[in-house]
């Protein structure tokens, strides 16, 4: 690795002169021609600063530690890492990632390993909206939960989650705006926080439009995979036309895929006979269905950006360090495709 003293030796100047030039503090202090020679030499050999030496002086490593449960290995959630990495890079920091693969016993050793490397802040990333029991972290280390909330509200951690309730309201309001009144809903019991919020949004949207919530139009799947949606979809759709929903709001896009399959199994056409709206905007699912699925975007990339910016605001601004922990609900925009139309037989 090229060092400042190597450049100084080749140019025939002191190390302090090289330091002034490479830190852009040479104006009026180093001869302009010499400064140009130093910069040209540094560029030609790809000189990079010794970050360890800088960190000893500044007390910062310009590194953020990120502990993930399965985010790094689940394509659906990986946009959170992409957003976080882009935001960190833009502000001159890098991410140091440890993915525990969902093994809770690895969380504390992972945190300890990152703290031993003097990271400037920590982010805990979850693959779905849940409460997280944080391991001990020094009070001087800023912590942000990404797609989760702290189990202990006194932990001092900031957090960011998707605004799933509002997203669900927008989804059902879109169906109501298309003329639907018999709107079914398939929830998922495996994700209790998200399920509660999306159910609440469904109910609020109906009642706000003066539509009575019909429990017979609500079904539950055990998990969010397509196979778990088939039986609830058959129960909801295999009914006489007069009692069958004209539209369905699904907990997730894979659940919606199951409703597509059952609708075709029963001879129903989407969206002519049945309009469907999903949630998540999963890549290779929502845009691959035929017709394309109207759904709600989980703002994973923007949440990753927010988490990094919040950590770094606390790292770089002493005044923000004294602020109370902040929770942020990130808007979930509706993505309109072709799975919704006006009902043939308005209720």
- On the question of pLDDT at 56 being above 60, the answer is no
pLDDT (mean) for 21-34: 88
Output the pLDDT for position 179: 97
Average pLDDT, the chain: 91
Cβ burial 37-67 (10 Å sphere, 16+ → b, else e)? bbbebbeeeebeeeeeeeeeeeebbbbbbbb
- Lowest-pLDDT choice from 76-85, 201-210, 237-246, 318-327: 318-327
User: Residue 252: which residues within 8 A CB-CB, separation 6 or more?
Assistant: 188, 224, 278, 279, 280, 282
- On the question of pLDDT at 217 being above 80, the answer is yes
pLDDT: which is higher, 6 or 12: 12
Output the pLDDT for position 250: 98
Going by C-alpha positions, the residue among 108, 121, 142 that lies closest to residue 325 is: 142
Residue 346 burial (10 A CB sphere; 0-12, 13-18, 19+): exposed
pLDDT: which is higher, 117 or 47: 117
Output the pLDDT for position 321: 57
Output the pLDDT for position 49: 62
Output the pLDDT for position 58: 45
Considering the chain, what percentage of its residues have pLDDT values greater than 70?
A: 93
- On the question of pLDDT at 318 being above 70, the answer is no
- On the question of pLDDT at 23 being above 70, the answer is yes
| 66 strand-pairing partners | 97, 123
68-120 per-position pLDDT tens digit? 998 877 777 889 999 999 999 999 999 999 999 888 889 989 999 998 888 99
Output the pLDDT for position 148: 95
Residue 316 burial (10 A CB sphere; 0-12, 13-18, 19+): middle
Output the pLDDT for position 41: 85
125-178 per-position pLDDT tens digit? 999 999 999 988 888 899 999 999 999 888 889 999 999 999 999 999 999 999
Rounded Cα distance between 340 and 175, Å, is 7
The three-state (H, E, C) secondary structure of 317-345, written as one string: CHHHHCCCCCEEEECCCEECCCCCCCCCC
pLDDT (mean) for 194-200: 98
C-alpha torsion angle, residues 31, 32, 33, 39 (rounded to 10): 110
pLDDT (mean) for 286-298: 97
The three-state (H, E, C) secondary structure of 238-275, written as one string: CCCCCCCCCEEEECCHHHHHHHHHHHHHCCCCCCCCCE
Output the pLDDT for position 24: 85
User: Residue 154: which residues within 8 A CB-CB, separation 6 or more?
Assistant: none
Output the pLDDT for position 96: 94
């Amino acid at each position: 690795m090229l060092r400042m003293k190597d450049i100084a030796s080749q140019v025939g100047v002191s190390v302090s002169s090289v330091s002034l030039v490479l830190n852009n503090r040479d104006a009026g202090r180093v001869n302009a021609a010499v400064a140009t020679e130093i910069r040209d030499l540094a560029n030609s050999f790809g000189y990079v600063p010794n970050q360890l030496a800088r960190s000893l002086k500044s007390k910062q490593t310009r590194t953020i530690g990120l502990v993930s449960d399965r985010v790094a290995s689940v394509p659906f959630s990986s946009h959170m890492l992409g957003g976080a990495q882009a935001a960190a890079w833009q502000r001159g920091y890098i991410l140091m990632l440890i993915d525990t693969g969902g093994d809770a016993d690895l969380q504390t050793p992972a945190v300890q390993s990152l703290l031993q490397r003097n990271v400037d802040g920590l982010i805990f990333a979850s693959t779905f909206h849940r409460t997280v029991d944080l391991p001990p972290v020094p009070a001087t280390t800023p912590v942000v939960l990404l797609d989760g909330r702290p189990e202990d509200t006194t932990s001092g951690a900031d957090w960011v989650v998707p605004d799933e309730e509002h997203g669900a309201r927008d989804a059902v309001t879109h169906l109501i705006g298309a003329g639907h009144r018999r709107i079914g809903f398939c929830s998922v019991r495996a994700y209790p926080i998200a399920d509660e919020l999306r159910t609440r949004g469904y109910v609020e949207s109906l009642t706000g439009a003066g539509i009575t919530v019909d429990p017979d139009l609500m079904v539950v799947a055990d998990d969010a995979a397509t196979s778990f949606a088939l039986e609830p979809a058959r129960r909801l759709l295999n009914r006489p036309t007069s009692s069958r929903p004209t539209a369905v709001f699904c907990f997730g896009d894979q659940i919606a895929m199951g409703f597509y399959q059952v609708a075709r199994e029963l001879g129903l056409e989407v969206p002519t006979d049945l309009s469907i709206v999903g949630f998540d905007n999963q890549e290779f699912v929502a845009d691959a269905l035929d017709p394309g699925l109207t759904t709600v975007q989980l703002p994973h990339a923007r949440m990753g950006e927010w988490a990094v910016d919040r950590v770094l605001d606390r790292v770089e601004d002493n005044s923000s360090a004294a602020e109370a922990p902040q929770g942020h609900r990130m808007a979930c925009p509706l993505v309109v495709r072709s799975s919704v139309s006006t009902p043939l037989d308005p209720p």
